[in-house]
Amino acid sequence: MTTTPTTPTMGMPFVQAAHLLAAHLANHALPQLESLTVMTRTGQSQIRAQLHSDTVPRVAADLLAWADTLSTATVTVGAWRTPVGDRVHLSITSTLTNPAGAVELDVYGGVAHDPVLFADLAPGEHRDVSLGHLRTWAATASDTTGGGGAA
């Protein structure tokens, strides 16, 4: 079951958004990141974090590690197949909050398209998936095809 964030994101200065993320990282042992972007615009702040891992089981496990540090009531899990169709981005979206406001958090990892796991995910399509799917994919022993059902 997926849920949508219930805390609206409010713009905060870049430095406050970066400090909020730094505090979260300092308080939790989280998987290594490949890239990190902190954006602030009028009325909205967003953090995008790309995972270093690149197999379905590893990305799923890393996303679960992040989800475990967040309120599950505000975690949304998604799968997006790139328009070319050769990659799938698995992601979680949530919010980080403090008294100054909230920042939208998007953590994702890209994996090779697996025709067994993602058989019904068309190129360019985005679909919500459950934390249960992530758990199933993370528990698979194979780093090539994994197991479990399609997204």
Average pLDDT, the chain: 85
pLDDT above 70 coverage of the chain, percent: 85
Please report the pLDDT score of residue 71 as a whole number.
Answer: 80
| Residue range 103-141, pLDDT digits in tens | 999 999 999 999 999 989 999 999 999 999 999 999 984
pLDDT level of residue 148 (50, 70, 90 thresholds): very low
| Tally of CA atoms within 13 A in the half-sphere of 105 that contains its CB | 26
Does residue 147 have a pLDDT over 80? no
What is the per-residue burial (b if ≥16 Cβ within 10 Å, else e) of 88-127?
A: bbbbbbbbbbeeebbbbbbbbbbbebbeebbeebeeebeb
123, 111 Cβ separation under 8 angstroms: no
Q: What is the DSSP letter of 120?
A: T
Segment of 31-40, 52-61, 97-106 carrying the highest mean pLDDT: 52-61
Which residue has 């849920």 as its token pair? 3
Which residue has 């890393």 as its token pair? 62
Please report the pLDDT score of residue 41 as a whole number.
Answer: 81
Angle of CA points 95, 96, 102, to nearest 5°: 80
Which two three-digit tokens encode residue 45? 């702040």
Please report the pLDDT score of residue 35 as a whole number.
Answer: 95
pLDDT level of residue 10 (50, 70, 90 thresholds): low
Does residue 8 have a pLDDT over 80? no
In this prediction the pTM is 0.83
